[in-house]
Amino acid sequence: MSRSIRVFSLFFIIIFVLAACNLPSNAPATEEPNAVFTAAALTVQAMSTQSTGATPFATPTLPPPFATNTAVTFPTLALPTSTVVVPPTASCDVAQFVRDVSIPDGSVFAPNATFTKTWRLKNAGTCTWSGYSLVFDSGDSMSGTSPASIGTVSPGQEVDLSVNLTAPTTNGSYRGYWRIRNASGVLIPVLGGTQGKSFFVDIRVAVSSSGYDLHTRATDATWVGSAAGVTTVFGGPDTDTNGFAMYRNNQKLEDGTSPAKVLEIHPQWVDNGVMTGLYPAYTVVSGEHFKAKIGFLAKADGSCGAGNAKFQLNYKEAGVIKPLGEWTETCDGSLKSVDVDLTSIAGKNVQFALAVLANGPADQDWAVWVNPEIRIP
């Protein structure tokens, strides 16, 4: 029998004997009832340790991860990190764009219209604005006064800055950039501004113009040849030796085309003869141009004749004829495009005049204006 079995057998014999004797206990009534069993257990433990070669009960080996010789790895917890915000160093001269008070970007104006642009800005620096000014920087100045005094503005204070402007005379989009200059002549930065330095006014110039069709209105013009005081009725015939003006719509021209709107003006049949058509008065709108193609009718076989003439665009103002353009053409198989900017007479009430002058003999000067008109490109 093994030593362990003998020890346990002895333990149970002692328990059995004590229970069988049922002897009265000398312990006080309040003593722990389990003291007998505790004493017995201690006795057994002492006996087992006094036995030759006896060893106490071995400590059981715990399975992983609780084994004493096993390293337990726990996940690493990421602790939140705090961000330290370092306030920017305060600057003396800094402006901050707040908003447009007037004239939103893209506002539409008629040519030469006057208006007042106002911006709201804030003194975002630490220095008081005293002796500062509003100055034009780049782009379209639109006749704005620069510099313009701002007045005194304390740090943190908002101020409205205004400038009186005039819209350009030509249709299109325009933008002007403005800045603030300090008393030392230094341009200060602008938070929220364009590239951090400027603010701007942005407008569009547009006009409604139906134009002036010199082809259609040719019947209303007064046609005069070289002979003093002799007028010619529009429409021909083309055999009139005093010269003539008439429609040649859809007829073949020297370049082989047959445009829908062709006005022929033939000078008087003399050397250096002339024919001029003076149109009813018209007020020129800003941005308008005179546009047309000029050349000659083709001969019946489609070839060029001997045309050689001067084409003129003139206007009459206050009884005086003034030139706008002149082009000398010969029949060479192509038409010439002409484009005259009328900005110089925008807003004026004038009478336009189309003229053809024979450059020498007038034979075969079948001069034509293709779709002559005044319009905004």
How confident is the model at residue 109, as a pLDDT? 84
Q: What is the distance between the alpha carbons of residues 96 and 260, in angstroms, rounded to a whole number?
A: 60
How confident is the model at residue 167, as a pLDDT? 92
In order, the DSSP letters of 360-377 are S--TT--EEEEEEEEE--
Give yes or no for a cis peptide into 237 (omega within 30° of 0).
yes
22 burial via Cβ count (<10 Å: 0-12, 13-18, 19+):
exposed
Per-run averaged pLDDT (10 residues), the chain, 377 residues: 52 50 43 40 41 44 46 49 49 96 89 91 97 96 95 96 92 94 96 92 83 96 85 93 96 97 96 96 89 97 94 96 97 97 90 97 95 92
Q: What is the distance between the alpha carbons of residues 336 and 309, in angstroms, rounded to a whole number?
A: 13
Instruction: Spell out the SS3 assignment of 348-363.
Output: CEEEEEEEEEECCCCC
Q: What is the distance between the alpha carbons of residues 304 and 296, in angstroms, rounded to a whole number?
A: 8
Q: What is the distance between the alpha carbons of residues 43 and 7, in angstroms, rounded to a whole number?
A: 11
- H-run or E-run covering 336: strand 336-341
186 burial via Cβ count (<10 Å: 0-12, 13-18, 19+):
exposed
Long-range CB contacts (within 8 A, 24+) of 37-43: 40/11, 40/14, 40/15, 41/11, 43/14
- What sign results for the dihedral spanned by CA atoms 97, 103, 105, 111? negative
Distances in Å between the alpha carbon of 374 and those of 112, 193, 303, 320?
20, 42, 31, 21
On whether the pTM is more than 0.85, the answer is no
Q: Where are the beta strands (DSSP E) in 42-181?
A: 95-100, 107-109, 114-123, 133-139, 148-149, 158-166, 172-181
How confident is the model at residue 332, as a pLDDT? 96
Task: Write down the domain spans for the chain.
Answer: 95-205, 212-375
**What's the CATH number for 212-375?**
2.60.120.200
**Parallel, antiparallel, or unpaired for β 107-109 and 199-205?**
parallel
| Angle made by CA atoms 336, 245, 258, in degrees to the nearest 5 | 45
3-state secondary structure of 203: strand
Is the separation of the CB atoms in 334 and 296 below 8 Å? Answer: no
Is the separation of the CB atoms in 179 and 137 below 8 Å? Answer: yes
114 burial via Cβ count (<10 Å: 0-12, 13-18, 19+):
exposed
The fold for domain 95-205 equals: Immunoglobulin-like (2.60.40)
How many of the other CB atoms lie within 10 Å of CB of 376? Answer: 17
Q: What is the distance between the alpha carbons of residues 193 and 364, in angstroms, rounded to a whole number?
A: 66
- What are the beta bridge partners of residue 356? 275, 311
